[in-house]
Amino acid sequence: MRPAEGYVTVEDGVRLFYQTVGNGPEVLLLINGCYLFDDFKYLGAGRTIISVDLRNRGRSDYIVEDGKLQRGIQNDIDDIEAVRRHFGLHRIDLLAHSYAGKTVMLYAMKYPACVRRVVQIGPIQPDESKKYPAHLTNSDATLHDFFAKMAALEQQRQSLRPLEFCNKFWSLLQFIYVVNPDHAAKLQWNRCNLPTELNCMAYWMKHLLPSIQAATPTTEDSARATMPVLIIHGTKDRSSPYGGGREWARILPNARLLSVENTAHVPWIEAPDKVLDSIRLFLNGDWPDEAERVSAL
């Protein structure tokens, strides 16, 4: 299957890059496809995948005007709705990883009639202010080593070209995403050649992170998301605490958690058969056998 590609222009003129593959009746919207598309395009057998780079990410427009960025995750929610309308879709499935896992759930809470099923992989926690006990986080030696090396790299920032700094940053970051360091090389996520990704950290700190911290769903918000939700979370995740995955499964009315032992932030890289087969099964209408209902952290 050869992907097609193009741009969706949203209301304020920003262009969002997309790729599509497959031609099945059910449509899966894959969020931040700039680094997920190659790993998940296999799902295009029997369905249609529309992979979208969120605002100011990937091959979507690089934005310098604060006015088009300051709403952060709220812009992303509106942009997902713009993509759905652009393609004339009644209901969509959603798959997202990391911070975008929260984005798609906030979208589902706002537009529940438009969402059939949701897959969250390693989602950030619903409430960013909540602290989880040690056994539900993974603040280990690898994470501490990363912070030490990042502090040293920051000392070199002024002497490095932006592209060089970005490449060095990714060479460090990849190791906290996996439990087995031998798997780090499988992460081909370095997109420092794109201006959006080269400058992503500034966007994250100034606009995205504050907007994510401010967007904590209420009990009433969660109750609106009645569609099936599969949360897939590595038990050794250093970037998004495993406790956050359990939290999502606890607060959503029709959610189950697939815990992936001894994996970190990218469980489909470290346990591909378990994760990818479970996603396919779920999107086809069934729960994976190991997916559990969660009543307590």
Q: What is the pLDDT of residues 115-160, one digit of tens each?
A: 999 999 999 999 999 999 999 999 999 999 999 999 999 999 999 9
Cross-strand partners of 295? none
Q: What is the token pair recorded at 205?
A: 């700190």
pLDDT digits (tens, 9 = 90+) for 187-245: 988 899 999 999 999 999 999 999 999 999 999 999 999 999 999 999 999 999 999 99
C-beta separation of 160 from 179 below 8 A: no
For residue 28, CA distances in Å to 33, 95, 190, 253 come to 12, 7, 24, 22
State the CB neighbour count (10 A cutoff) for residue 85: 12
Alpha carbon distance 225, 117 (integer Å) = 10
pLDDT digits (tens, 9 = 90+) for 20-65: 999 899 999 999 988 899 999 888 889 999 999 999 999 999 999 9
User: What is the distance of C-alpha 33 from the center of its chain?
Assistant: 9
Alpha carbon distance 143, 99 (integer Å) = 19
| Residue ranges with strand state E in the chain | 4-9, 15-21, 27-31, 48-52, 92-97, 115-121, 229-234, 255-260
Alpha carbon distance 164, 198 (integer Å) = 10
pTM given for the model: 0.96
Class of domain 4-137+209-283: alpha beta
Alpha carbon distance 246, 266 (integer Å) = 17
pLDDT at 2 over 80: no
C-beta separation of 204 from 66 below 8 A: no
